[in-house]
């Protein structure tokens, strides 16, 4: 048996979903820049469209039981530090980019977008806002007992069919899949059959798993890279839509990999998690203890 939340193939799935998001946004930018469609890429994106985000939220839901087991306050604090904070940082970058573009083009400033980041985000970072809310709601449900997510799940899926607002429908639909992950983790933790574990070991793709382990880094950074890389590449003479699209995907993943490599270093950590500095004396004590035989 194995712990479902510790299976390596989950990183591959998460990485694949994030790369799918990068591919989709690169297509939209390349088509907008060139005015030419990419039928094969569009068909691929359409095929993945119904699976990308449900897969991401389900895999996030799988990690809920382990997190809430530490207590509601600890669970919430962790999500503020590692989801809400990077959302605030990168949505600020995104809004600054949009406002600067509007000023350069002589357009009116879209102040409504700044207000909507708090209640109905329409930036590419909406997923992080939703994810924080999902974890908050899951933490509240956990206070009612371990069966609460399973009891709430069908009600959430039913509710998503009853609302007219597209954002509310999307929120409830994805929250339902988040609860599916939570329930699966509670049912299967420590009870995943060994044959399933052996098969899952063959489903790992190291490159995608690497993306999956730093999925927030790639997700948070990719769009800002693409929206600047595409016009620069196009101005430099990369005018074929397919080449422009592939170049945008490559640049976004390369920058994401670079940021993943420095995300825990001083001076960079604040981009992806709450900025905390360990007191120097404590670090010295740790080094001394480590040297004790």
The 10s digit of each residue's pLDDT in 193-217 is 566 566 666 677 889 999 999 999 9
Answer whether residue 74 shows pLDDT above 90: yes
Taking the C-alpha atoms of residue 135 and residue 178, their distance in angstroms, rounded to an integer, is 9
Which one, of 7, 54, 5, 6, lies nearest residue 199 by Cα?
7
- Cα distances (Å, whole numbers) of residue 117 to 49, 95, 163: 23, 9, 21
At 238, list the tokens: 């990369």
Q: Which residue has the tokens 């999925």?
A: 215
pLDDT at 193: 59
Name the burial class of residue 136, with classes exposed (0-12), middle (13-18) and buried (19+) by CB atoms within 10 angstroms of its CB. middle
More confidently predicted of 120 and 132 = 132
Domain ranges across the chain: 4-291
- Cα distances (Å, whole numbers) of residue 146 to 58, 106, 136, 224: 17, 55, 15, 40
Q: What average pLDDT score do residues 67-79 get?
A: 94
The 10s digit of each residue's pLDDT in 51-69 is 899 999 999 999 999 999 9
Q: Which residues pair with 2 in a beta bridge?
A: 192
The 10s digit of each residue's pLDDT in 139-180 is 999 999 889 999 999 999 999 999 988 899 999 999 999 999
pLDDT confidence bin for 286, thresholds 50/70/90: very low
């Amino acid at each position: 048996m194995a712990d479902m939340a510790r299976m390596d193939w989950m990183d591959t799935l998460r990485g694949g979903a994030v790369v799918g998001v990068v591919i989709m946004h690169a297509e939209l930018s390349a088509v907008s820049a060139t005015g030419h469609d990419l039928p094969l890429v569009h068909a691929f994106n359409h095929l993945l469209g119904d699976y990308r985000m449900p897969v991401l939220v389900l895999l996030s839901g799988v990690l809920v039981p382990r997190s809430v087991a530490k207590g509601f306050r600890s669970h919430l604090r962790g999500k503020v530090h590692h989801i809400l904070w990077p959302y605030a940082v990168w949505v600020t970058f995104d809004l600054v980019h949009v406002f600067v573009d509007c000023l350069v083009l002589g357009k009116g400033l879209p102040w409504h977008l700044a207000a909507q980041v708090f209640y109905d985000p329409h930036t590419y970072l909406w997923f992080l806002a939703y994810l924080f809310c999902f974890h908050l709601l899951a933490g509240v449900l956990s206070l009612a007992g371990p069966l609460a997510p399973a009891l709430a799940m069908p009600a959430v899926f039913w509710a998503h069919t009853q609302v007219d607002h597209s954002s509310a429908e999307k929120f409830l639909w994805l929250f339902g899949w988040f609860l599916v992950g939570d329930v699966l983790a509670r049912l299967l933790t420590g009870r995943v059959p060994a044959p399933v574990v052996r098969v899952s070991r063959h489903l790992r793709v190291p490159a995608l798993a690497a993306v999956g382990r730093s999925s927030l880094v790639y997700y948070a950074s990719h769009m800002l890279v693409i929206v600047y890389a595409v016009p620069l590449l196009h101005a430099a003479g990369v005018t074929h839509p397919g080449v422009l699209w592939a170049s945008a995907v490559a640049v976004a993943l390369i920058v994401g990999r670079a940021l993943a490599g420095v995300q825990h270093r001083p001076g960079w950590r604040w981009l992806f998690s709450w900025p905390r500095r360990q007191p120097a004396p404590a670090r010295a004590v740790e080094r001394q203890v480590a040297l004790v035989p």
